[in-house]
Amino acid sequence: MNSVSQAPPTPQRPFSKELDPMLCYAFSGHKEAAARLDLMIKHRTLGVLTGEVGGGKSTLIRRLFASLDPMTYLPIYLCCANLKPREFYAGLLEAVGVEPVYTVSKARKLWQEVVRSRSAPGEKTLAVIIDEAHEMSEAMLLELRFALNYNMDSAALFPLILVGQPELRKLLRLKKYEATLQRIGMQYHLGGMNKDETSAYIRHHMTVSKTEKPVFAESALGRIFAASQGLPRVVNQICTQILLDATARNLEVVEESDVVRVLADMDRQRGLTN
């Protein structure tokens, strides 16, 4: 009987951003934000999602796009990064397979024609998300109201969602953006996890990745929450380092003292301490 050697299984990475967004732990803030995003899409409105750096906005976007029926929606993702109106329209037109044009006025007109044609029965609904929207220029923020529809008094024909850091809300309240602000149909600010949610998040990610060891002691979980303030990205960074440390030390249980040691080492690596 021939024996077949099998390669060892690939180690799971429970706190990696590559983890399937549908498997990520959905805490109360995430559930509410996901529900709001779903309504923004269904109502075809201008929506705003804000949150702290590392609060889980990217995971929400990935989860939203993964949940959209590809037969019904065509999702379009644009990252601001000093996005200008011409680049904005070029990104939109390329996403729908239309050759972009050079001038903003022609690009706007061409986009409006695309939107009109896409509003016909049986056509896929466009779903546009602009990430890092807190970095948007004045010209880009003012352009949004023209991009949303071809008739300024009509309802929007597709959803457009702005995602960014908390300063986006302050930016939109400036007087010069009043016309854009009035068109916002729904907005939500995503906060971090509380202590219990942080503990549940860590346990959930260990479980879905089939990582049985090490086990986190309650005191260790509390210390991780205190250091991360419940921000998922920070929790991921800390826990990744803890797992590496636990592997090197053959730990089966992570105690609070282990977390303290790892946090101190992370501070040294960042040059925060000697």
Please give the structure tokens belonging to residue 42. Answer: 């269904």
Mean pLDDT of 104-114: 93
The residues with which 187 forms a beta bridge, in sequence order, are 48
> 46 near 187, Cβ under 8 Å?
no
Q: How confident is the model at residue 273 (pLDDT cuts 50, 70, 90)?
A: low
* Vertex 103 angle, CA 97 and 108, to 5°: 60
Mean pLDDT of 100-126: 90
Please give the structure tokens belonging to residue 267. Answer: 């501070």
Q: How far is 81 from 67, CA to CA, in rounded Å?
A: 26
Q: What is the pLDDT of residue 204?
A: 95
Question: What are φ and ψ of residue 36, in 5° steps?
Answer: -65, -45
Q: What is the pLDDT of residue 270?
A: 84
Which residue, 188, 189, 204, is CA-closest to 27?
A: 204
| Most confident region among 96-100, 154-158, 215-219 by mean pLDDT | 215-219
Mean pLDDT of 205-228: 95
Q: How confident is the model at residue 57 (pLDDT cuts 50, 70, 90)?
A: very high
Q: How confident is the model at residue 18 (pLDDT cuts 50, 70, 90)?
A: confident
Task: Tell me the whole-structure pTM to 2 decimals.
Answer: 0.88
Q: What is the pLDDT of residue 117?
A: 87
Structural domains in the chain plus CATH codes: 28-190 (3.40.50.300), 195-266 (1.10.8.60)
